[in-house]
């Protein structure tokens, strides 16, 4: 089992992780520390507990925005796929109509 020290708001925290996940955990810790520093600069010193709650709420908000964007992209992809299917169907019907007209013309000639 791996062990990483992450520093958030000038405090060190020992965190255990799976082997090979140390670098990823360090990046996550750095991101949280960055957000904590930004928040402290904006609202001042509010205490560690309150600061970490506020940081978590900000990160949860970012995550929520990303989920909403993913849902929107999925919906748009579905609309695009349906539009492509509709276009393909339209082309198939046009080709079929041309064949029917061609057959009808040949029948009229006979």
Range of the domain at 67: 2-109
Q: Is the pLDDT of residue 72 over 90?
A: no
Q: Would you state the pLDDT for residue 110? A: 60
* Tally of domains in the chain: 1
Give the global pTM: 0.62
Positive or negative: CA dihedral 22, 26, 27, 28: positive
Instruction: Give 51-71 pLDDT, tens digit per residue.
Output: 889 999 999 999 999 999 888
Provide the 3-class DSSP secondary structure of residue 1: coil
Distance CA 63, CA 58 (A): 9
Inter-residue contact 18 to 2 (CB < 8 Å)? yes
């Amino acid at each position: 089992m791996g062990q990483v020290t992450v520093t958030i708001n000038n405090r060190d925290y020992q965190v255990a992780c799976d082997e090979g996940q140390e670098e990823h955990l360090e990046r996550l810790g750095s991101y949280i520390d960055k957000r904590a520093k930004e928040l402290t600069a904006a609202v001042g010193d509010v205490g560690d507990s309150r600061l970490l709650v506020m940081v978590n709420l900000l990160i949860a908000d970012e995550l929520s925005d990303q989920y909403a964007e993913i849902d929107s992209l999925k919906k748009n992809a579905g609309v695009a796929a349906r539009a492509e299917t509709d276009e393909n169907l339209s082309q198939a019907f046009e080709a079929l109509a041309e064949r029917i007209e061609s057959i009808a013309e040949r029948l009229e000639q006979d």
